Each structure stands twice: as C-alpha cells, then as structure tokens.
Chain A
Amino acid sequence: MPEFLKGNYKVDVKIEDKADAADSTDEFEKRALSRLGGSICFVSKKSLIWQGDGEKDQAKADGAGTKDR
C-alpha cells in the first residue's frame, strides 16, 4: 500500500494491492505462456530467408515465402 494512504488506525481485513496482484498474474501468465511456445520463432510477413542487406530490397518486396530464396 502506498505510504500516503496509510492512516493512524488498523483494519481487520487484509487489503491486497490490486496493481501488484495484476502484475503478478500477468507475469505468471507470461512465464506460463512462454513455456507453451515453439522451439524457433516465426516472424510474420517477412521472407523465409534473409541474407543481409545485399538482399534487403528483394526481401522487403517479398511477403512470407514469396520467391524469397
């Protein structure tokens, strides 16, 4: 709980910081999801192969897998 919200009294219930809880849930989901991923990335809308800047213009012109050798 942020310091400026604390008063000079005590409450019986435990108040959870929702922002922290949300962060924690997001982090758990992110970690769990990453374990469901594949063994190699897929980059959408890019060519099947990229050989550096010499091919930049050709690769840019290609959609995924379009005559991209």
Chain B
Amino acid sequence: MELGRKIAEALEAATFERVAGVGLANAEANHPRIARSVLELAETPLGAGDAAIVVGAGPSLYRRRSLERLRDAGFAGTIVAADGALGACLRAGVVPHVVVSVDPHPERIVRWFGDPTLTGPRGDDYFRRQEMDPTHHGDELAANRALVELVNAYGPKIKVATATSAAPAVVERCEQAGMDLYWWNPMYDDYDAPGSLSRRLWEMNGLPCLNGGGNVGTAAWVLTHAVLGKPRIGLIGIDLGYAPGTPYEKTQYYPELVELLGDRHREAFIHTVHPVTRETWFSDPAYHWFRDVFLEMARGADCQTVNCTEGGLLFGPGVTTATLDSFLADAAGGTTRHG
C-alpha cells in the first residue's frame, strides 16, 4: 500500500488525539456563552427553497471563479460557508447565511473572521503558506485589516454555527462583530460506548452532537443536510485536494510530513486524475482521509450532493458531478435533474 494511504488509515484515531483534549477544554470555557442550540437554525429563515450551496475554502473557488458566478446568478437558496471561506465570500459580494467553525486551534482560526488584535506577522507561517486563501500570502496585515472591516460590516447578517470546540478567541470575535451564535458539539466518539466523551459533553450542555467528517467543510455539509434539512446541496470550494502545480511546501501539512517522514515525505502525496477535467490533482494523507470519509457519509445520506467545484478530488458513489451553472439553473427552476 502507498505510504500516503497507509497514513490516512490512522487518521481517525490521530484526529481524536489532536482535538479531543483541547476541544473539551474549549467546551468548558465556552459553556457560559452558550445561549442557542444549532437546532434553532432549522426554524430560522435563511435562503428560499430546498437547494443549498456549501462553500469550502479550496483553490477551485479562485480557479473557477465560483463565488463570482454564484453572486451573478442571484442564487436564492441557502448558503453555508466554512469559516476559512468567509473572507473569499465577502470579498466576492456573497454574504453566507451561516458560517461554520469547529477548529479548536487557539490562535489561527480567529484570522478567518479578521483578527482585530493582530498588529504584526506571527511566527506561525500558516497563513503565508496555506493554499486556502491566497489573499493572506502577501501583506498579511493589510489582508487582515480589510477582513476585519468586512466582517464588522456584514457580521450582523451572518449566523455562526459554532462547535463547542471553537477557540474562545473565535467566539469573542464573532460576538464582537454582531454575529448570532448557534451551538453544537462535535461527535468525538461512539456515544453508545462506555465512557463516551460525546455522551459526557451532551450531558453537560444538552447540545446535539454532529459527526464532523474530519474538517470544517464536511461539517458544513453535515449541518446543511442533518440540521437544516436541505435535500439538494451543491458544493463549491470543497476540493479535498491540491490543484495541479501546487508546490508541496505550500500544502497544509508539509512541515508535519517532513517531521514524520524526513526524506520520504514526497511519498505521502497521492496523485489522481479528475475524471472530467483530466487534470491531475493530489492529496496528502489528511485530504485523502477527508475524501474517503465524505464519500462514506454521502453514500448513506438521504440527500443529493452535487459537486460543483469543477475540479478537486471529491468524486465517487454518493456524489454526483455537475457544473455550478447547471446546478444553479436547476435550483432556479426547481427541478431535480443532476449529473
């Protein structure tokens, strides 16, 4: 078995190791701020109709100008964005109804909402290196200042589906920007198992547990289907892979792969040809695991999931592929034809 796939098989347990401790600590810290359950979102007016678009922060957003096309089409349905895509949405003139945030990292995630406390470049090169939002690659401070202003301006129109694992700094920033918070618990483990952390969390705060699928984009899809009840979901920016030509050094987990594998780190990347575009995208073990998990969840879901990214690596049983334009045309016409 390829090295990358072998590592991917270990990531369900590895993710638990990574996030459970800090996620539970954040849940305790956030407890006094919890006022609404995410279930209330289902009763809240969002977009019209049955169709929804879930926006991830993958490179296809820029390559395919997905957000500009979404804006120009005047899509009337519900728009749910991963936190990492919020800046791209607002810069493109798309105000999502709901933003989803889950990552417990104490410092990084607040930047997706514009960090008013940022006065100089941090030692952490994450935002200069990551492929998700190239706006941060150049002048980090200017990009952050612009985002602070955008989020301050549109925050009161945006609802945040906040996991209890979210860093308190993110919660504070969202409240400061006038965003309404709707809370949920990440599902950490089997709630039927003895000593389950998920069950302990539910007993503590009474909030529903969502099976997050490894990353915030997948969690946004879960929420759109399982909480909002949308039966037709189009995906943009959920590539779960790296675009052709992306240097390995610019990938999400590059430093960690080098630390783990040394000179063999290149063997961890998995290259795949997209069946429609014929482009060769690639994944690292994490993205490969995210893809497998998404397909497993989508196969069993009682909804239509349409990949409108026009690229990426998310294809297989349970997910149909269509252009964004055809999905939007179908949504506007109220038809159900896809693929």
Contacts and interface: CB of A to CB of B under 8 A. Distances in A.
A4 B219 CA distance: 55
Interface residues of B, number: 61
Given A37-B286, A39-B102, A40-B163, A47 B18 contact: no
A40 B219 contact: yes
Interface stretch (B53-61, B172-180, B293-301): B293-301
Nearest to B228: A69
B190 A43 contact: yes
B81 to A, nearest CB: 15
B23 to A, nearest CB: 8
A40 B11 CA distance: 11
Contact of B191 (A36, A38, A42, A50): A50
A36 B190 contact: no
- Which of A44, A46, A67 gathers most chain B CB within 10 Å? A46
A13 B103 CA distance: 49
B78 interface: no
Contacts of A34: 14-15, 17-18
A64 B296 contact: yes
Given A33-B14, A36-B257, A46 B211 contact: yes
B225 A30 contact: no
A66 B302 CA distance: 6
Interface string B92-105: 00000000001111
Contacts of A52: 202, 206, 208
Nearest to B39: A51
Interface stretch (B43-51, B181-189, B270-278, B326-334): B181-189
Interface in B1-39: 7, 10-12, 14-20, 39
A38 to B, nearest CB: 4
9 contacts: A34-B17, A38-B212, A38-B290, A40-B212, A41-B16, A48-B226, A50-B187, A50-B198, A65-B225
Interface of A: 29-30, 32-44, 46-52, 56, 59-60, 62-69
